[in-house]
Amino acid sequence: MKIFFAFLYLCSAYASINIEDAPLGEKRIDLEAKDYQIVIQYKDKNSNAKLIKAFIDEGSIEWIRVRENLLIPRARLKLFLNTETSKLSLKYKDKIYNFQGNDEKAFAEIYVSLYEKDKAYLYFQGVEFASLTLKPKGLKKPKTLIDYTCSRNAISIDGLENEHFTIGCSLKRIGKFGEEKPMLEIMWMSPELKVLDNETVPYFAAFLVQYPINIQVQNIYTKEIKTISIKANIPKRLHRLFTAYGFGPYALNTKYTNSAGETLTEKVDMATALFFYLNYKISEKNSIRGFDAAVFNKSKFNNAGVYLGSDFGFALDNKLYFTTLIGMQYLYFKFDDDYEEVSEAIFPQGIEFMYRHAFGIPNYIVSGGIFLSTTDSIEYENAWIRWGKNYFWELNLISWGKDNVEARTWGVSLGFPFKGFL
């Protein structure tokens, strides 16, 4: 019984995948028009309709993203017939298409899915007279495409041979707050494989623990029946609050103008700098962010903030996105032990970008951002850029000034994940 409840297997799917309006994704596998054969079947060789000419537009193959986590290829199929345009129609994926042309020539162009097995049906005066099927013909270098949404779960597939396979992941939270656990839903397709007695795609499965998902499939071309096994690493808990700390050498330049108009300066090329970060996930696109940066030598400078982060502006197959940072900060400054301290709330606002899986390296992130002052009475800017996976490098510049005091610090720090809570 324990093994039975280790996973949930679902092979139901959409009624039809909308390939026309799906967003473009990153091309991870090279496909060419010559890799596919267009099989035309006539219901009646004596049909009034003329011979069909059909081909895939060279260079039209592109990858699209389905349900935000599955990449599949599509292409434009061109059809030409020497017959009256008004009497022709075409049905593909529950849509009816009309032809362009005149009384002697007709042509049409539609998007087709290269990993699905839907036929296109041609009608002459409302009567079906032919169907078209796209069939892979010796696709070069059959390859498994594991989407970046699966990268943290170390997905692997055993049992594949000369087949293409694409898989995407979606991590969901289950259980009560404070004890949330992961359910990893996967979605997969293959142009050559189908689940026995079921050609409706995509197929679904859900991991709850470490046990593999074993699926009996059939190659629709060779008719071979075999079992493939999908494995994944599943964490025992999902936290909402994540923390990290960092440290590094920072330069610290400070100024103080006393009541006599005399300006005192302190310049330190290497001061002690300590950092603390937190991120509380409200949802997939919203979080509460916090930071504390403390740099001290003879002068002491501490800058902390808490912000609501909201993701927007996704691009490059959702790997690049921007986040607005709306909130407040606390600032502490003391030039040295002989002068009074500054301790106050300030309200700079900011924006951050994040580029996930940077340079094709799974889970490595390049991010950066800037906070700027919202008032003329306070000069403030805080700019940073980070690179890393679990631990990360950060280059940071903080500049602040008001009235008779100024502080400017910059340097490189190394950050480490600390602990997850909640």
Amino acid, single-letter form, for residue 82: N
pLDDT averaged over the chain? 90
Radius of gyration from C-alpha coordinates of the chain? 30
What does the pLDDT average to over 305-326?
95
User: Which pLDDT does position 2 carry in this prediction?
Assistant: 38
**Of 52, 71, 185, nearest in space to 128 by CA:** 52
Does residue 197 register a pLDDT over 80?
Answer: no
pLDDT band at 166 (very low <50, low <70, confident <90, very high): very high
Task: List the strands of the sheet with 127-136, edge to edge.
Answer: 36-42, 127-136, 120-124, 88-92, 95-97
pLDDT band at 9 (very low <50, low <70, confident <90, very high): very low
What does the pLDDT average to over 253-273?
91
> Rounded CA gap, 193 and 75, in Å?
20
Is the CATH number 2.40.128.100 carried by domain 241-421?
yes
Q: What percent of the chain has pLDDT over 90?
A: 70
72-131 confidence digits (pLDDT tens): 999 999 999 988 888 899 999 989 999 998 888 999 999 999 999 889 999 988 899 999
Of 37-51, 125-139, 392-406, least confident by mean pLDDT is 37-51
DSSP code string of 113-179: ESSS---EEEEETTEEEEEEEEEE-S-SS--EEE-GGGGGGT-EEES-SS--EEEEEEEEEESSTTS
Q: 278 with 242: CB under 8 angstroms? A: yes
What 3-state class would DSSP assign to 406? strand
Does residue 15 register a pLDDT over 70?
Answer: no
User: Which pLDDT does position 249 carry in this prediction?
Assistant: 95
Q: Beta strand pairing status for 106-113 and 405-421? A: unpaired
Q: Beta strand pairing status for 165-174 and 144-146? A: parallel
Does residue 49 register a pLDDT over 60?
Answer: no
H-helix segments, 284-346 = none
What does the pLDDT average to over 357-364?
88
Q: 198 with 192: CB under 8 angstroms? A: no
> Rounded CA gap, 201 and 195, in Å?
9
Of 48-52, 286-290, 308-312, 374-378, least confident by mean pLDDT is 48-52
168-194 confidence digits (pLDDT tens): 999 999 998 888 999 999 999 999 999
Q: 384 with 394: CB under 8 angstroms? A: yes
What 3-state class would DSSP assign to 34? helix
User: Which pLDDT does position 400 carry in this prediction?
Assistant: 97
Q: Dihedral of CA 195/133/16/311: which sign?
A: positive
User: Which pLDDT does position 46 carry in this prediction?
Assistant: 65
Write down the domain spans for the chain: 1-238, 241-421
Q: Beta strand pairing status for 100-101 and 106-113? A: antiparallel
User: Which pLDDT does position 14 carry in this prediction?
Assistant: 45
User: Which pLDDT does position 50 carry in this prediction?
Assistant: 64
pLDDT band at 11 (very low <50, low <70, confident <90, very high): very low
User: Which pLDDT does position 47 carry in this prediction?
Assistant: 59
User: Which pLDDT does position 44 carry in this prediction?
Assistant: 78
Q: 217 with 196: CB under 8 angstroms? A: yes
Reading the block at residue 181, the tokens are 């656990």
Q: How far is CA 171 from CA 9, 119, 152, 310, 364, in A?
A: 15, 33, 10, 20, 19
User: Which pLDDT does position 5 carry in this prediction?
Assistant: 39
Q: What angle do CA 330, 332, 335 make, to 5 degrees?
A: 160
What does the pLDDT average to over 347-361?
93
pLDDT band at 276 (very low <50, low <70, confident <90, very high): very high
